Amino acid sequence: MKKIIMSAVAALAVGSAMAWSPIGLSIVTPAQLPYVTSDVYGLRLNCIFGCNENVKGIDIGLAGAATGVEQGIQCGLVDVVYGDAAGLQVAGLSYNGGEFDGLQVSSLFNWNELAVCGVQISTINVDKTEFRGLAFGGLDMANSVVGAQIGGMNLADSVNGLQLGFLNACNKMKGVQIGLVNMITSSKLPVMVVANAWF
């Protein structure tokens, strides 16, 4: 056991002096190894909050952030990526400033500033640009949807696919809405009950 601990400490010491490390340990930034401007390619453990430039591998802890790219598995109460992200995000709150490809599962919300391709499951899914895939939530919001929004309330500017929920609303649509209230503002029948469609 002593050899394992010494090896881990040595890897962190070497990693903190290099541009990247195979292991990242953080109590709360800046009390972490390696430093914030370094990358972690392997395993990062965040006791309270950890922040590095790029993280590739497994990222676990209460809260974690990457100022650059995150690829792999990110799991925490709060997950933040300011650049592009790919893989699996499991969180209470998830934010991506860049593009995201993969699966997002959050208890409260997924918030994405740029294009998303994959599956989202959350109470609230917000995609400020384009969403391609399947969104499952209490509230699904996107600028452009190619795929399906399935939830209590589905809102989008344009949809190419399906909206399934109690309230579905969009400006332009090539597809079908199924729900209690269905709105396509650019169609000849802008509001319908049970179902609406426009191609």
pLDDT confidence of residue 199: 87
What letter represents residue 186's amino acid? S
List the one residue out of 166, 185, 171 whose CA is nearest residue 142: 171
**Other Cβ atoms within 10 Å of 189 Cβ, number:** 11
Report the distance separating Cα 123 and Cα 110, nearest Å: 8
The pTM assigned to this predicted structure is 0.86
In Å, what is the CA distance from 90 to each residue of 33, 110, 120?
23, 10, 10
pLDDT confidence of residue 188: 87
Q: Residue-wise pLDDT tens for the chain (199 aa)? A: 666 555 554 554 444 456 999 999 999 999 999 999 999 999 999 999 999 999 999 999 999 999 999 999 999 999 999 999 999 999 999 999 999 999 999 999 999 999 999 999 999 999 999 999 999 999 999 999 999 999 999 999 999 999 999 999 999 999 999 999 999 999 988 999 999 998 8
Pair of tokens at residue 175: 């597809």
